[in-house]
Every structure is written in C-alpha cells, then in structure tokens.
Structure 1
Amino acid sequence: MTPSLNASGPASEPAPLRPGRKLGPIASTVGSSHRAWLGPTREHYLLSGRTLADLSASVLAKSKLSELLRGVGHYPRWEVIHRLAEELNIPTWPLHRLWKQAAMDAGKSRDWVDRSTGGTLALTTQAGPPLEHGALRSIVEDGYRRYAGVFLTDDVLDAAVEESFAILWLSFDDALASPDIRRYAWNILSATVRAKADHRDQRPVLGDAAFDTVALLHAQTSLDDQVVQLAESLETFTAISKLPLTQLDVMVLRRLCGYTTEKVSDLLGIPLALVRSSQRHADRFLADTVEPPAPTGETTS
C-alpha cells in the first residue's frame, strides 16, 4: 500500500562508522547545478558503509575519488559517475540528467557529453521513480511550474522543474524519512528556482511573468491606471523579494499565482495557520514599505 504523501517516514539511520580519513566538504567553488547531483551522491556514499579504498578497486583511484566527491579538479566523465552509481545503488536516470546539466553549465560541449556517456546509459531500460514520487509529482507539478514562472523565463523554467524532481528522486529515502514529504520537495524546488533566478542585492528578482500576471489582472483598466499599477507593482515586487523565504513563497503563490491558502498549505507542506500568519506579516511589511499610488491625474510633490 502506498503511504500518504504527508506521512512521516522512519527515522534516518545514522551513518555507519568507516576507517580512514573523513571525507572533506564540498569545495566552495562548486556551482549549484554540480551540487545538485554531488550532494545526493555523497549522501549515498556516506550511508553505504563503503570506503574510498573499497570503491577504488572498481571506480577510481582513492585520491581521485576523494576529489570527485568534494568537487575538486576536473569535471568528471559520466562513465566514472556511472560506475560509482552502480556501486552505491544510485538510480542512474536522474543522476545522469543532473550530471549532464552541470556539464553544460561547466562549459563542456555536447560532443564531450555524448562521448563521455557512450553506451553506459540505457535510458529506455531504466526503472521508473518510486510510486510515491510519481503521485506527488502529479499533484504538485502545476503549482511548481507556476511558481517557477514568476522568477524564470520559459526555457529555464522547464530545466528547474525537471532538475527538482530529479534531485527528489535521488534523495527519496530522505524525503520519506522527513516530517513532511511535501515540505522536503518544496525546499528542493524553491532552492533550485532561486539558484537559477536573476538576483539583485543577493535576493531573487521577480521576472517578466510577474508583470504579465498583473497586466492580465488589470487588462480592462485605462492606460493611465495601468501605468500607475505597473509602477506600484515594480515597487511591490522589490519589497516581496526582501521577505523571509517562507513569507516570500506564500506571497508569490497567493498574490501572483492566485492560489488559496489551502492550496498554498498543500504545496509548501506547512500548516494553514503558518500560511495565514506568514501572509499577515508579509502584508504588514508591504504596507509599511510600498507607498500607495497617487490617484490618477495627480502627482506627488
């Protein structure tokens, strides 16, 4: 029987002790798309009980494997990652998708990617994601896409959503063990979107889709009113981008995507009371920050 999507799973098992030097952290120079697959891969390794010396016999020399798992040195070829995935029982389809995107972001050519992949990946024979993963995706994907569209252009939007579900697949055991799988999945989506969005003063900038939403809502107003609304919207979007993350997500979903508080609660995996309190705090901040527009035909001194 498929468990409820918002049910808690079993507590995560502690990582087994292993001999030898502790694996160092991911290098600070590693980009977001590289981290997207490297983080879950490290988690699989740390929970496997295997050692670098053990894996070196079938994957890569111990020192090179340590560098790979810290994101140091040259970007790894897929055949090496594929061997590691087989040893650690990592699903290869989502791993390859994330590896390929990171390779392109690292400046690797499509020819390099194709030659590196070779015959190691038979996508047509890969098992699909867990049933719970597919069930969750069918429920939340439209909301994820609408949220991502507020920050990203269409070409980047598709990649962000697909990457989010691939990361979720790679770390699905952790998702099931989390207090709420919906919250776990949303955190992945939100972080992926923020990583791909344009930023100003280290805060994500709301994109053209946000203006399109406002324009649609006010399509029947006069041109002067639309100009006033656009100016107010620009100030409002800037203020929204400064909100704490939960308040920001709530306001984007409520104001710009038009979702009910109940739908926002389902997407974010947080209680209704937290959605309402987050909106109240955000509304108060916006009221104190955004200057109301002057009536049409009047100018401020």
Structure 2
Amino acid sequence: MTTFSTAPVPDDPDAAPLRPGRKLGPISATVGSAHRAWLEPTRERYLASGHTLSYLSTRIPLAKSKLSELLRGVGHYPRWEVIHRLAEELDIPGWPLHRLWIQAAMEAGKSRDWVTRSANGNIAFAPSRPPLEHGALRSIAEEGYLRYAGAFLSNEARNAAVEDTFAILWLSFGNALSSPDIRRYAWEILRATVKAKADHRDRRPVLVEAAFDTVALREQASAEGAVAQLAESMELFAAVSRLPDTQLDVMVLRRLCGFIPEKVSDLLGIPLASVRSAERHAERFLEETVELSHHTGGTNP
C-alpha cells in the first residue's frame, strides 16, 4: 500500500492570527458548490494570512465592504481581475483557482464572453507546479478516480470532476497534509465533487447509467435476456445508491470498477478491514432490499 507523509499538526490548528475589526461572517447559504470549491480555501488562506480587509483594500481595487462580501459569497459574482489580485496577495496558486473560478462562473449563469472580459488581461500565472506529494497522489489515484466518477457521470463530466478534485486539493493542500490521511482527505473531495455533478433521486446520486455497461448485460445472448438483466441491474443500482457513503464507495469500486480490496483501501485511505466490513454490510443490505422488493411486487421498503 502506498503511503504519504503528513505535516506535523500545530498545537491549535483552528487558531488564526488575531486581527482588529469585525470578524468575517460565514459563507452565504446560497453559494453554489462550484463557487464554494474555490471560496472556502481562499477564505482559509485569508484567515491564516494575518492581513486585514483594510490592508487588502489598499492593494486590491475593491472597497473593504466589497471584499467582505466577496469572501462571504454575497452580491455579484466577482470578476477574475479582482480574484487574480487577491490570489497574488494571499499567495494562492493561480491555475487551480482560475479553473474553479470559471466553473463557478458558468454555474452562476455567466457567459463565456463575460468570463473573458472579466479577466481584463489578468490571466497569466507565474510558473508553478503542484506540491510533490500532490503529483505523487495524482499519479497513483487518478485512474481509480476516473473509474469511480464514471459510474455516476458522462465522460466529459467525469473528466471535469476529477480535474476539479485535484484543483481543490491543490488549493487546500496545507489542510490535506495536516489531515490524518491525505488519501482520505482527497477522496472526500472527489466524492463531494462527483455528487455535486451527478443526477439525484431522493437526494442520493443515481447509478442507473452504469447498468448499461455491466459484464452480465454484455454477455446476454438474447435481447430478452438482456432486457431481464437490465431490469435486475437497474433495481440493484437503485438500491446501491441508498447505501451510506463508505459502503457506496466500496461497492462501486469493488463491483462496478473491479478493484481488489487492497486497491480500494488505498484509494479511500481506510484500513483493509474497514473495506471488507463495509462490503459485508452493504451486501447484507442489498440482499435484504432486493429480496423484499421482489416479494412486494417491486416497491421499495
């Protein structure tokens, strides 16, 4: 199993430099998932910097009150020109921030023309590479991430979700290194990113499209057999989508992606024993659920 080193955790990791003035308010509940993806690490970088809004307003062409709104996700979606200047002051890597900013602009209904104009020429970044451990994790985990995301998303959305995951991980890499396990930290980003992009039923991600690509379905010799297998697969995947997060992840990686338990453990950043326990509990739930569905004429419990 591949392991990654972790940075020492400070005595009080929640402590932030004291600064004069009113405390920054929370992120607005109306902020979308794509906007939150870059806003949260940007706020964390600001809170850790020791800078005040008054100081930043002298460096960035934005009033103190507008900076406060920007960092809470209130008001109009910010132009890249402003975000670029803020990133320079807070030493935030430009490429991942720009990618996530564009995604959120699209989510906010902005046009491609607005995205281009809002940069005002400020789209160039100083040459930079992600941290070495970020690159090491990506080289090992990317294939697994793509296959997991592909169980929920189309190819284009799958690729975007994985690219967004590594961008968010880069922006928050200090937190990742101080977490108990960088693999677990990264996986939780992936799961949240995939969920945000997936179709949902009863607030759970839908796996139905994966039914069209099962080995059992491809091996059916007759159209009648294929239809029967498809119906069974769709019923099973609907039940899988109701599993708790870890059990869902394990079943997707084991049964849809075909990974061995050791690889699943490595991707999720959890002990091998936890993978096997999650799989046993999931299998028991699925057996009981599908069997009950058959006895009740196809209705869910």
TM-score (ref. length: structure 2): 0.92
User: Which residue number in structure 2 is paired with residue 43 of structure 1?
Assistant: 44
Pair 1:204-2:202 in alignment = no
Matched AA of 2:5: A
User: Which residue number in structure 2 is paired with residue 220 of structure 1?
Assistant: 219
User: Which residue number in structure 2 is paired with residue 120 of structure 1?
Assistant: 122
Instruction: Give me the whole-angstrom Cα distance separating, in 2, the residues matched to 1:221 and 1:180.
Output: 43
Deviation at 1:230, TM superposition (A): 1.3
Instruction: Give me the whole-angstrom Cα distance separating, in 2, the residues matched to 1:293 and 1:142.
Output: 35
User: Which residue number in structure 2 is paired with residue 159 of structure 1?
Assistant: 160
Instruction: Give me the whole-angstrom Cα distance separating, in 2, the residues matched to 1:221 and 1:160.
Output: 32
User: Which residue number in structure 2 is paired with residue 85 of structure 1?
Assistant: 87
Which range moved further: 71-80 or 199-208? 199-208
Pair 1:230-2:230 in alignment = yes
Unaligned runs of 5+ in 2: none
Percent of pairs identical after alignment?
68
Deviation at 1:46, TM superposition (A): 1.0
TM-score (ref. length: structure 1): 0.92
2:108 to 91, 102, 106: 106
DSSP-derived class of the 2:25 partner: coil
CA 1:19–1:5: 2 relative to 1, 3 Å: farther
Instruction: Give me the whole-angstrom Cα distance separating, in 2, the residues matched to 1:282 and 1:114.
Output: 47
Deviation at 1:228, TM superposition (A): 2.2
Would you say how many aligned residue pairs link Structure 1 and Structure 2? 290
Deviation at 1:293, TM superposition (A): 10
Unaligned runs of 5+ in 1: none
CA 1:46–1:5: 2 relative to 1, 3 Å: farther
What is the correspondence of 1:2-13 to structure 2 with a 5 Å cutoff?
Answer: 5-12=3-10, 13=13
User: Which residue number in structure 2 is paired with residue 263 of structure 1?
Assistant: 263
What is the correspondence of 1:57-72 to structure 2 with a 5 Å cutoff?
Answer: 57-59=58-60, 60-72=62-74
Matched AA of 1:243: L
CA 1:9–1:105: 2 relative to 1, 3 Å: same
Deviation at 1:8, TM superposition (A): 2.9
Matched AA of 1:81: I
Deviation at 1:136, TM superposition (A): 0.7
Instruction: Give me the whole-angstrom Cα distance separating, in 1, the residues matched to 2:219 and 2:283.
Output: 26
Contact kept? 2:199, 2:205, Cα under 8 Å: yes
RMSD (Å) for aligned C-alpha atoms? 1.8
What is the correspondence of 1:107-186 to structure 2 with a 5 Å cutoff?
Answer: 107-123=109-125, 125-186=126-187
DSSP-derived class of the 1:156 partner: helix
1:67-89 deviation per Cα after TM superposition (whole angstroms, max 9, x unaligned): 00010000000010011111111
1:208-236 deviation per Cα after TM superposition (whole angstroms, max 9, x unaligned): 2x12331x344233333322221111111
Instruction: Give me the whole-angstrom Cα distance separating, in 2, the residues matched to 1:68 and 1:103.
Output: 14
Deviation at 1:5, TM superposition (A): 4.4
User: Which residue number in structure 2 is paired with residue 245 of structure 1?
Assistant: 245
